[in-house]
Amino acid sequence: MRFGLIAVLLGGVFQGSVLLPMKFTQRWQWENTWLCFACVAYFLSPWAIAFARVSGFPQMLSDVAPRTLAATLLFGAGMGAGALMMGLAYKYVGMAITFAIVLGISSSIGTLVPMMVLAPEQVLRHQGLATMAGVAIALLGTVVVTWAAWERDAAKKTSDLSSQPAADSSTKSVITGLVLAISSGVLSSCGNLGFAFGGQISARAQALGAGPTGSASALWSVILFPVFLWNVGYSILLLRKNKTAHLYREPGTAHYWLLGIVMGIDWMAGMAAYGAGALSLGKMGTSMGWILFVAAMIIVANILGALTGEWKGARPKTLAIMAAGIAILLISIVVVGTAGTAA
């Protein structure tokens, strides 16, 4: 049980640091870096780990019920669509509101639905109550961290009134952004739902002698295939629309490829660690694990953001709010951790 908790938190650490290398690929556009990242994260890494750790992969997938494979792929398609909608919502309502809505909804659905369906007997017991309390505390922490980001961004906008087109502040744009953010929150939870309800795939891998990492990667390889198609397709569309493919040949950017690859490996390392940890936590693993994973991810992302200057110039009040949000998220980790150690 302790291994499961540590693995899940480690997964959040990896995930929270995924975007850090993008700070050093300024001469590429978003789509250049994202295409490299998506190929490694969503396809090459999970399939390489599954091939290496699961005997007879991918032939073992033929032993999985077609209904399970179809449902898992559908959850993956939802996860991919949610990721793209999050990027679009950011354009309309900004980072703070998007961050709060997407993570709030996805962490709640991704935690509570598997518990209600797979372990309903635990809902009113210590594990279930501690997990639900952890979700509530984590939501509060997310709101507080988002409040800090809102304060920071508001201060920046007052110093640069031209940073947002007037149309973006219109009611129509706000409504569009909110719809996209809410839809993204619902769809982004599909990643964990696919992992929770695609257990036949990981069980089959375990039956072939695969350990937690191999079993988790076998399942992720199926979930992430539609995510790979969504992200690569969108990145290629942007490369053609913006005519930015030539940037791959820009002198002095050869190491950008390595940074994109590191991002992809870091992302998959996080998902593999989360998957291995969740499988080790038993029936409640995808519920307890998901909220721990998201909380750790938010904490690490904000700490790294502060260390790399994202909070430079912020008022002491804003920094205090951010610190309070991180403290609340740490409390949520402790609360959910008690559910795991008591099992």
Residue 154: both structure tokens together? 């508001």
Asked whether the predicted pLDDT for residue 90 surpasses 80, the reply is no
Mean pLDDT of the chain: 86
User: pTM of the full predicted structure?
Assistant: 0.82
Measured between alpha carbons, how far is 42 from 111 in angstroms, rounded to an integer? 22
Count the domains in the chain. 1
DSSP per-residue letters across 230-284:
HHHHHHHHHHHHHT-GGGGG-TT-HHHHHHHHHHHHHHHHHHHHHHHHHHHTGGG
Q: Specify the higher pLDDT residue, 104 or 113.
A: 113
CA of 304: how far to CAs of 175, 221, 223, 240, 291, in Å? 31, 29, 28, 33, 20
Supply 235's token pair.
């990145």
List the domain range (segments joined by +) for residue 231. Answer: 2-341
Retrieve residue 242's tokens.
């913006």
Residue 271 near residue 222 (C-beta atoms within 8 A): no
Whether 147 contacts 325, CB under 8 Å: yes
Distance CA(295)–CA(330), nearest Å, equals: 8
pLDDT interval class at 103 (50, 70, 90): confident
- The residue type found at 126 is H
Q: What does the alpha-carbon distance between residue 236 and residue 242 come to, in Å, rounded to a whole number?
A: 10
pLDDT of 102:
82
- Report the C-alpha gap between 179 and 185 in whole angstroms: 10
In 3D space, the residue among 218, 179, 163 whose CA is nearest the CA of residue 50 turns out to be: 218
pLDDT range class, residue 167, cuts 50, 70, 90: very low
Q: What is the pLDDT of residues 105-160, one digit of tens each?
A: 888 888 888 888 888 888 888 888 888 898 889 889 888 888 887 787 777 666 65
How many other C-beta atoms are found inside a 10 Å radius of the C-beta of residue 55? Answer: 12
8 Å CB contact between 14 and 270? yes
Q: Pick from 170-184, 242-256, 270-284 the range whose average pLDDT is largest.
A: 242-256
Q: List alpha helices for 17-65, DSSP H.
A: 30-39, 45-53
For the cut 50, the answer to whether the pLDDT of residue 166 exceeds it is: no
Which pair of structure tokens corresponds to residue 101?
């809505």
